[in-house]
Amino acid sequence: MALHIVAISAILGLNSAFAAVCHLEFEEAVCKDFAFSPEINLNSTANKLMIVDARGPITAQNLANLKAVTEVTVRNSTISEIEPGALCSSPNLTSISLVDNPTIPKIDKNTLKNCQRLKKLYLDGPEAAVENGAFAEVGNLQSLTLKEATLPSVLELATFQGLDSLRSLAIKYSRFDEIKEDAFNDLVNLKFLDLQSNGIKRLAPGTFRKLLELKVLNLADNRLKSLSWDEFRGLKSLRVLFLERNDFDSVDVKKLMDSVPGLERIFLSYDKLRPENIKEIDETLPKLNMTVIYTKRSAELIFQRRFRVIFEFNLCEGYGHGSLSVLFLVKPNETMAKEEEEDKLPDQDAAKEFYAKYEPKEILGRGISSTVRRCIEKETGKAFAAKIIDLSNDGGDGISAKEATKQEVAILRHVAGHHYIIELQDVFESPTFIFLVFELCKNGELFDYLTSVVTLSEKKTRYIMRQVLEGVAHIHSRGIVHRDLKPENILLDDNLNVKITDFGFAKKLAEGEQVHELCGTPGYLAPETLRCNMVEDAPGYSYEVDM
């Protein structure tokens, strides 16, 4: 054991007493399950450092000797205090990520003191409470992500003041009440602004007037009910605007074009708009070289808050002839689930078998008709992820949620037993709920991991891709085509090994069978899939769409 510790110590540059909790994963040092103390003096030769399941206060002394480290991630840790300037005490640090930490002090200007070199900051989790003025000393920041964060109730000039170098700002699933007209005034070089899923009800007319370089604006999944369309006036560089799944029922086409004449793509919800307005949009905007993309929520993803779209009939008739450029038109479904309500645990009488074996804990994610919770197996104390599917609103056209779930379970069992496929542990069924218990992948989606780390070395990329390809090869060897393979449907376990998940679109193929259904996620659809509804007598597709 002593030799093992010394070997790790030599590689990581850590003292031998501390090296026992650290290991090297490619170019990244991972230190797990330890308590910060004055004696902990990290001195890693790796460029990236991940701290997982740590406890206690972080001081400058803990991180000051990380001269080679440029990226630090603190995940799933209980941090009682952060000494002013400690996070940026490493001289070459350019990226900090604080992800899903159960306890962490408020983020204020002292937390980010001496962080002038910082280029990227990623804060994820409701315990990450940000105060106005917190970013006053990170003037060179280029990318800021605030996911599920607790922000000041009113976003104002002081919230993002001084961030004139910022290129990308994402605020998603976060808590605040109002955006003042001057909130984004200092973000003069911003090119990407993501405000998805924050419950925004209104925007002041001049909210974005200073964002002259902005190219992409995402306002999807909010509660915008009434738009004057002057809110977007002055966005001369804007090319893409996401407005789907809000509460407004019409688009003032003339005002939209007057406000953002350079707009190239706009995302809208087909089922929210009045029929006469849809007709006006389809007749007007494509003639101005604007692409209209209609979307509709229709199926939940395992472990995710994102939504995908099933394409239920042909693309619009004029597509490909130059006169009409509506790309994805999704058939409305009157039987789709109602807006999400507060998730409540099913009554114990409705799921006695599940409650007898597992104890449900906090929510990990939500879908249209399902909730994913962490749960503890009572006998062993081991943690799992339970997907709880509500069948109370099941019915309507097409396949029912109960039948779809049973089909997915059958496929999961058919491909089971491979290292890189999600393991289905248990299934419980009651008249109103189905419980699917999966292995728990604490590191979440590959998509979020890539967003967090920004860049991957070639060696680590090869490592991840080899696992994905081995998993896909196993799926195909069992006669299954996945049809929705993407970073959001690839989870990472404790050791950052991949687990392919979400087999909701998967299909078992007979030998030589070609399918023609157009289903999947916009942006990830294979050409062979699109061709089925664009070209008459298209030959169909099979396993190749997963590659």
Residues labelled catalytic = 484
Say which DSSP state 83 is in. Answer: -
Q: Among candidates 314, 498, 496, 402, which has minimal Cα distance to 485?
A: 498
**Residue 338 is labelled as binding a ligand:** no
Longest dimension (CA), the chain: 76
As to burial, measured by CB atoms within 10 angstroms (0-12 exposed, 13-18 middle, 19+ buried), residue 4 is exposed
Measured distance CA(279)–CA(273) in Å, rounded:
10
Q: What element of type H or E holds 410? A: helix 401-414
Q: Among candidates 56, 67, 13, which has minimal Cα distance to 33?
A: 56
Q: What element of type H or E holds 433? A: strand 433-439
Phi, psi at residue 289, to the nearest 5°? 65, 30
Q: What are the structure tokens assigned to 480, written together?
A: 């299954």
3-state helix/strand/coil string of 237-294: CCCEEECCCCCCCCCCHHHHHHHCCCCCEEEEEHHHCCHHHHHHHHHHHHHHCCEEEE
Q: Do 163 and 183 meet the contact criterion of CB atoms below 8 Å apart? A: no
Which residues have a Cβ under 8 Å from the Cβ of 267 and sit 6 or more positions away? 220, 241, 242, 243, 244, 293, 294, 295
Which residues have a Cβ under 8 Å from the Cβ of 237 and sit 6 or more positions away? 191, 212, 213, 214, 215, 262
Binding site, by residue number, is 387
Question: Residues at the annotated binding site for ATP?
Answer: 387
